[in-house]
Structures are given as C-alpha cells and as structure tokens.
Amino acid sequence: MDRRRIVWTLILSALLLGLVGTTPASAAGTWQLIDNHQRTCVVSTRGGTSYFGIWVKGTWTHQIDVGASALPAGASTSTFYAPVPPGSSDGVGSLAYVAVAVPAGTAVGTYTASLWASDARSTDRVPITLVVNATSCRRY
C-alpha cells in the first residue's frame, strides 16, 4: 500500500510540475519592431520636429510602450497613439508615432538614435538617423 501511494504521489507531482509556471507560447505573444530605415534632416539654426512611425509585427498580450533614445543633447520626445494596446499586426502600417524635437543650435552631424518598443516582458530597438545640417536639408 505504501508503494502505491509513493508511485501515485510521484506521478501527480510530475504532472503538477509540468503545469506550474508554464504559459502557452501563444499566450505570451511574440512580436518585433520593424526597421523601416527611417531618416530625417533638420537645419541646425532652426531645429525641428520629426515624426517616426512604429511598425510592429506579431501578437502581444500587454500594451506596448514606445519611445526614442540616444538622441542629440537637448532633444526631446513625445508619442502619439501610445501605448499600443494588446493585439496583433501584420507589420504593415504604423501603430503609433514618436516625435523627436531637435533644438536650434544642435551641433551639425549625423546621429544614430534608436526607436524602442517594450511590452514589459521584452524590448526591441531599431536605428533611426537624424541628420543635422548647417543650412539646408535638400540633399541629405
């Protein structure tokens, strides 16, 4: 009788351990931020605001917060249509926007910054290029 009890205890323990702490892959969601090689230009003496689209492909169960980082000194951001609510997307069309305001007087140069998206479980980043020219953005 004790042997049966031990066997059943082991079987039930194994079954319960298999269930505890697991989440089906579809429940966790998988998504990625799409890199559309976004690039913009502002004139140093005027500064300016540029808008970058957030394209996401996949499914997610938590809201996705978005933003930009590694910006030139003094630059600021704001977001539109963010956070992105739980859902799914085929990656076609922007779900949100990040506005990057570059102040007048920013040093001339090419800056590689990042757009980021995070659902509190994972964060994805893609590069964006900010070109700051001295007088014109005609041929950047």
Largest CA distance in the chain: 90
For the segment 21-54, what is each residue's pLDDT rounded down to a tens digit? 434 444 457 999 999 999 999 999 999 999 999 9
CATH topology of domain 25-133: Immunoglobulin-like (2.60.40)
Q: For residue 97, with 0-12 CB atoms within 10 Å meaning exposed, 13-18 middle and 19 or more buried, which class applies?
A: middle
* pTM summary value: 0.78
Is 88 in contact with 103 (CB distance < 8 Å)? no
Confidence tier at 4 by pLDDT (50, 70, 90): low
Domain residue ranges in the chain: 25-133
Residue tagged 């779900």 (tokens): 95
